[in-house]
Amino acid sequence: MRKARWAAAAAGVVLVVTGCSSEGGSDEGKGGASGSSSQAPAEAGGSLDAATVTKEIADAATAAGFTEKPSDDVPPALKSCMVSWQPDDKKAADPKTSYDATVAALGKGGWEEWQTFDEKGSVIKSLDKSGWTVKASYQGQKDTFLLITFIATDNGPACEKLFREDLEKNKDS
């Protein structure tokens, strides 16, 4: 079951990164300029590590009214390159407001929003800081199916190699 959740999360991140926003979504740049799907994420090699990214996401999300839903979705080999933070949306008074407030708090903390996909109940925002990218995802409706995740990945070459190796290893699983 854990592998299925991890595979679904990884597929969602890969889908967004490879241009899922070409239809129906909007790309937004900061500073008043419109971005485009060809705009690259922040350069790799920043000063953040997985523990710092986890703390920044957790601080923003808990301040917005979320509590963390414990999970072990990140494979051990990728723990230094990836952070998966999933809120317990059932405990939030208004999950959409908490999601929006979390994204806003990350922005105030230096995470630059560079791409947004918004279509039919799904919102996925890409935010970059110091060589990391957060995919903030809100999918579904509160009273039916709802999935909210904050998945951050290190964009450096060492982590890129580890991600490729993990995908190849799990391709036939």
The amino acid at residue 126 is S
Extents of the domains making up the chain: 2-34+43-170
Mean pLDDT by 10 residues, the chain (173 residues): 41 37 37 33 64 96 93 86 93 93 98 94 95 96 87 95 91 72
How far is 17 from 75, CA to CA, in rounded Å?
A: 20
CB atoms within 10 A of CB 81: 23
pLDDT at site 97: 95
Torsion sign across C-alpha atoms 76, 60, 13, 148: positive
The pair of structure tokens assigned to 146 is 């709802």
Q: Is 133 helix (H, G, I), strand (E, B) or coil?
A: strand
Give the tens place of pLDDT for each residue, 107-149.
Answer: 999 999 999 999 988 999 999 999 999 999 999 887 778 999 9
